Structure formats: structure tokens, C-alpha cells
């Protein structure tokens, strides 16, 4: 099978979906220097450049471990003190500490190759996740990157519908984390369902973020485009993702790729 590269990033623009907590910043790119700013007087070289204003958690991105805390404590029991949570970013567990992710990748296509999304706000059960593994004949293991397809990635240009996406349940997330995976991602805004409900077990909202980032130190990748990977039924590939080294940042925009036609052992 020849090598094929899959681009897993969603297109960035001012009209892309935003999580409500990041909408105020949004995404803005402005040209502040234009070629036409330079007057022509014979052979003329000119340069153009712009300014980008956005949050690290817009578009396709990866969460740094410092992104979440429980009772003001980060992963490893680190207190979110003033020396840790500074005005210029985190002094520990920032995005610059994340090594490039190059790992075996498993796509768990829960709705299946028919392409349709799951129901709005549906929490993907452990049974459903395991059923996807059995159907695809894959088994998640230590060091893997697990990407879960809900089908909502196809609504990237329809914010209202996209923000009602299904997501992975806490029980299914705990199963994945118990296997020692390196990162988990999905084609939705927050990997899990973000409907503001308090989880009865962890007693917090976004319990999967607490499980992965705070309790297990496992990265989360959000707003992935998994449609082509799913339509080609590429369930196992090599995943490559390199966060920007922004000192102390709580996350980073990324353009992850999946490589099919080779195995991670190659």
C-alpha cells in the first residue's frame, strides 16, 4: 500500500466555531503591511505581513497539561500558586514541555462508514467504543493516540449544529486512560460532551478533561477533521503532531497529520 498523508486540521477563519469561553477573543488575522504600501520606482521588492489575534484553544489544537486543574491542583498535585500561574503563562506543564507526538494512531469511527453523525449531545459509551475496536479489529494500547469520530466534524461550517456534538463518556475515557494512551482526540469542540452538566462521579463539569489532563497527564486534541480518514477506512496509521513552543501557554494550534501505508514499527 503506497504512503498517503491525511491532513487532520480544520480550516481556520473568523467564521469557524468557537467554544463560548473563547468566543470573545475569537480569531482575527489582519494585514498590517501590504505590497501596495511601497511606491513603485523601477524594480521594486516589497514584503507583506500580518497580525494574528486568537486564543490557543481555537480551531484544531492540543491542550497542555496545565490547561485544567482540580481544587486548584494541576497534574502531579502541583498547586496553581502565583509562582506557577503567572501573568505570562505557567512556569510548569506549559505547552513548550510537550514533545512532538509521533505515535501509532487508531481511529475509532463510532457512527461507522455510513458517515452520519451520532445524536446531539450523545455520550459515547464504553460498549460503543469497544464495539468500534472489534469492528475495526484494533486494540488500543500503551503510547497510542486514539482519535474518536462522532461525525460532527462535517458540520465545521455550521457552528450551531457543531456545538451540539456528541462526545466520549467518562467511563469510556477511563478505559482508554487505563491502557496508558499518550493522547486522545475527537472531531468535536471538547472530546467529551460539553453541556454544562455536573458528572455524578467526579462532581465536576468536563470530567473527561479532569481524568485525562489532571489525573493522568494525557493530552487532548480537539476540533479534528477525521472525515477523509474515516471514508477511506484508515483505522490504523502513524500520527504526527508538533505543538508550537509558546512558553507557558495552556495549549497550541496544531496541524496534525496521519500517515497510512506504513506502520509505526517501520
Structural domains in the chain, CATH included, are 4-20+54-260 (3.50.30.50)
Q: Quick one: pLDDT at residue 130?
A: 97
Per-residue pLDDT, 1: 73
Q: Check if the beta carbon of residue 237 is closer than 8 Å to that of residue 260.
A: yes
pLDDT at 113: 64
- Residue 15: the pLDDT is 95
As given in the structure block, the three cell numbers for residue 59 are 480551531
By C-alpha distance, which of 145, 194, 171, 227 is closest to 18? 194
Q: What is the largest CA-CA distance in the chain?
A: 72
pTM metric for this prediction:
0.96
Rounded (5°) CA angle 128-132-134: 115
Chunked into runs of 10 residues, the chain (266 residues) has average pLDDT values of 94 95 91 94 94 96 98 98 98 98 98 82 97 97 98 96 97 98 98 96 98 98 97 97 98 98 76
In angstroms, the CA 128 to CA 130 distance is 5
pLDDT attached to residue 201: 97
Hey, what's the cell of 39? 511606491
pLDDT the model gives residue 240:
98
Q: SS3 letters for the chain?
A: CCCEEEECECCCCCCCCCCCCCCCCCEEEEEEECHHHCCCCCCCCCCCEEEEEECCCCCCEEECHHHCCECCECHHHCECCCCCEECCEECCCCHHHCCCEEEEEEEEECCCCCCCCCCCCCEECHHHHHHHHHHHCCCCCCCCEEEEECCHHHHCCCHHHHCCCCEECHHHHHHHHHCCCCEEEECCCCCCCCCCCCCCCCCCCCHHHHHHHHHHCCEEEECECCHHHHHCCCCEEEEEECCCCCCCCCEEECCCEEEECCCCCC
For residue 219, which phi and psi values (nearest 5 degrees)? -75, 155
Cβ-contact 147, 185 below 8 angstroms: yes
Dihedral sign of CA atoms 258, 183, 146, 255 in order: negative
For strands 61-63 and 251-253, give the pairing: antiparallel
Amino acid at each position: 500500500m503506497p504512503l498517503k498523508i491525511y491532513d487532520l486540521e480544520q480550516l481556520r477563519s473568523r467564521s469557524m466555531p468557537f467554544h463560548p469561553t473563547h468566543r470573545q477573543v475569537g480569531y482575527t488575522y489582519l494585514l498590517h503591511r501590504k505590497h501596495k504600501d511601497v511606491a513603485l520606482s523601477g524594480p521594486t521588492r516589497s514584503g507583506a505581513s500580518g497580525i494574528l489575534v486568537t486564543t490557543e484553544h481555537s480551531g484544531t489544537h492540543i491542550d497542555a497539561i496545565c490547561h485544567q486543574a482540580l481544587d486548584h491542583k494541576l497534574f502531579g498535585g502541583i498547586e496553581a500558586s502565583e509562582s506557577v500561574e503567572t501573568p505570562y503563562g505557567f512556569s510548569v506543564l506549559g505547552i513548550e514541555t510537550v514533545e512532538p507526538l509521533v505515535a501509532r494512531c487508531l481511529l475509532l469511527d463510532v457512527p461507522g462508514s455510513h458517515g452520519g453523525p451520532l445524536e446531539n449531545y450523545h455520550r459515547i459509551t464504553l460498549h460503543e467504543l469497544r464495539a468500534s475496536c472489534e469492528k475495526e479489529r484494533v486494540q488500543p494500547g500503551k503510547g497510542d493516540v486514539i482519535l474518536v469520530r462522532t461525525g460532527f466534524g462535517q458540520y465545521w461550517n455550521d457552528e450551531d449544529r457543531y456545538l451540539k456534538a456528541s462526545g466520549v463518556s467518562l467511563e469510556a475515557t477511563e478505559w482508554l486512560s487505563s491502557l496508558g494512551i499518550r493522547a486522545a482526540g475527537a472531531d468535536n469542540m471538547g472530546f467529551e460532551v460539553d453541556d454544562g452538566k455536573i458528572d455524578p462521579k467526579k462532581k465536576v463539569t468536563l470530567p473527561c478533561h479532569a481524568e485525562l489532563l489532571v489525573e493522568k497527564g494525557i493530552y487532548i486534541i480537539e476540533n479534528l477533521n477525521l472525515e477523509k480518514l474515516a471514508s477511506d477506512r484508515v483505522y490504523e496509521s502513524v500520527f504526527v503532531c508538533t505543538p508550537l513552543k509558546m512558553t507557558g501557554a495552556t495549549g497550541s494550534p496544531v496541524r496534525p497529520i496521519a500517515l497510512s501505508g506504513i506502520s509505526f514499527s517501520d
